[in-house]
Amino acid sequence: MEIKLPNLGEGAESGVVINIPVKPGDKISKGQIILELENEKAVAPIPSPVDGVVTKIHVHEGDKISVGQSILSVETSSTVSVEAASTPNRESGTGTVVQPKTEARPKAPIAAVDTSGDKSISESSSSEVQEYEPIDAASGKSSKLAPPTSPSIRKLARELGIDLSRVRGSEYGGRIVMKDLRDYIQWLQKTAFSKQPQEKPAVESVDFSKWGLVSKQPMTPLRQTISRKMLENWSTIPHVTQFDEADITELLELIKKHTKSFQDHGARLTLTVCLLKPVVAALQKHPIFNSSLDESANAIVYKKYWNIGIAVDTEAGLLVPVLREVDKKSCLQLAIELSDLAARARSRKILPEELKGGTFTISNQGGIGGSFFTPIINKPEVAILGVGRSSYRPVMKNEQIVSRAILPLSLSYDHRLIDGGNAARFITDLVREIENFSESNLIV
């Protein structure tokens, strides 16, 4: 009995094998992990659908495999096939081990094509056209008799090379009128254009070894995903970045003061945790920054929830787990959740669903270094906040020059929805919220 790669969900059809925790001769039980697959931004564990003994493994670590491909063979006493017995594992998001067999269904009759509306021509496939317009293999013509129509339409069809047996007549008895012929011609044009392959720019291959020693390794699925998403985000969103600075001298003192109490509750109090509440307050005051653009409907979607994505730097690449309902949680709860999400992101144990549903993103590079930068918006969000490393600088305060901790802020926004004035007002209010951070947020 063969176990095959299940439907991975979300349109994913393949992945790279990174771990096979079983070997031939091992006894496995239903639900036991038999393979770990790296797909997109997550590692998906693949469970066994049956009890049995592994007889053969068909894949190796590093192989790229697709849905339906055999993973391993097992010996089991059950006479029911894996394909028929498997059921979706909705909690893990890995789906069935193989899809159940389905019976062929009779084809539905083909609906007339309405060319007056905006319906996509892709809804009528080429297979439907062949069923509607049967062609005789020998003559190359339709095997159906031409429906009734006027001599003038027959003459026009002959001149245009159109087989009238393929045209659906709208009048009584299937009689073809000029509108039917025009609609059919328009449909043919749309079909022809929809089938044209998209041209991709030629990529020149460069032999870098001509100039010295090189090494080469394939991009991981995660890096390919990041590369593809960054290109899409940058090329489809007109980015503008607004810069400002916040005085966090008092905030750093509060963090120092309450660090111990957070540690006593198993949490780590960081600047990122303290920025969450000010960010949500600014988003609530400026809801356009918590929206998304529905490009298909040319509409702005205002979200009444505040889910903040936190960019996490991992060895495999950048991941953005999402903290949900930030407005309803305490800083202690957020600190615990953020620590857990970041740890699982770095170990690639994060679930795909935990990387979705964000309304705004924070990318804090302060722990690494640097000051201002231009972060790329995480589509379909419309803005992202970049945070640099704070530094003590001499500033004028109360007519005296004093040393203050200054935090660099970089706000990138989608200029299709957000104007410069909106961005200036948002970041000004955000700075005010940060500088007036309430100590009550940190009392546990």
* Domain range for 309: 238-442
In this predicted structure, what is the pLDDT of residue 198? 57
Indicate the number of domains in the chain.
3
Residue 275 tokens, joined:
């920025």
Q: Do 261 and 348 have their domain in common?
A: yes
Q: Is residue 350 part of a domain?
A: yes
Instruction: Return the amino acid letter for 62.
Output: G
* Three-state secondary-structure class, residue 28: strand
pLDDT in tens, 303-329: 999 999 999 999 888 999 999 999 999
pLDDT in tens, 283-296: 999 999 999 999 98
Q: Do 308 and 420 have their domain in common?
A: yes
Q: Nearest 5°: phi and psi at 45? A: -80, 135
Residue finishing a domain among 170, 189, 208: 189
pLDDT in tens, 337-367: 999 999 999 998 898 899 999 999 999 999 9
352 upstream amide cis, omega within 30 of 0: no
| CA–CA dist 291, 417 (Å, integer) | 9
Q: How many CB atoms are located within 10 Å of the residue 410 CB?
A: 21
| CA–CA dist 74, 25 (Å, integer) | 9
Q: How many CB atoms are located within 10 Å of the residue 74 CB?
A: 24
HSE (CB half, 13 Å, CA atoms) of 70? Answer: 10
Q: Is residue 203 part of a domain?
A: no
Q: Is residue 216 part of a domain?
A: no
Q: Do 126 and 71 have their domain in common?
A: no
Q: Is residue 424 part of a domain?
A: yes
Catalytic residues: 415
In this predicted structure, what is the pLDDT of residue 193? 63
In this predicted structure, what is the pLDDT of residue 9? 66
Q: Do 303 and 352 have their domain in common?
A: yes
Note whether 184 and 132 are within 8 A (CB).
no
| CA–CA dist 248, 390 (Å, integer) | 8
Note whether 168 and 181 are within 8 A (CB).
no
Q: Do 310 and 400 have their domain in common?
A: yes
The CATH code of the domain that includes 81 is 2.40.50.100
Q: Which residues pair with 14 in a beta bridge?
A: 66
Q: Is residue 279 part of a domain?
A: yes
The CATH code of the domain that includes 168 is 4.10.320.10
Residue finishing a domain among 63, 85, 107: 85
Q: Do 309 and 399 have their domain in common?
A: yes
Q: Do 163 and 268 have their domain in common?
A: no
Q: Do 274 and 347 have their domain in common?
A: yes
Q: Nearest 5°: phi and psi at 160? A: -90, -5
Inter-axis angle of helices 151-160 and 178-194, to 10 degrees?
A: 20
Q: Is residue 213 part of a domain?
A: no
Q: Is residue 211 part of a domain?
A: no
In this predicted structure, what is the pLDDT of residue 8? 74
Per-residue model confidence as pLDDT tens for the chain (444 residues): 889 888 876 656 788 888 899 999 999 998 899 988 887 667 788 899 989 999 999 999 888 888 889 999 999 875 334 443 343 343 444 443 434 443 443 333 333 333 334 333 333 333 333 333 443 434 444 445 567 888 788 888 887 888 888 888 888 777 888 888 888 888 887 776 665 555 666 778 899 999 999 999 888 888 888 898 999 999 999 999 999 999 999 999 999 999 999 999 999 999 999 999 999 999 999 999 999 999 989 999 999 999 999 999 998 889 999 999 999 999 999 999 999 999 999 998 898 899 999 999 999 999 999 999 999 999 999 999 999 999 999 999 889 999 999 999 999 999 999 999 999 999 999 999 999 999 999 998
Calculate the dihedral angle through the C-alpha atoms of 415, 419, 421, 424, rounding to the nearest 10 degrees: -30
Q: Is residue 196 part of a domain?
A: no
In this predicted structure, what is the pLDDT of residue 151? 78
Q: Do 315 and 246 have their domain in common?
A: yes
The CATH code of the domain that includes 374 is 3.30.559.10
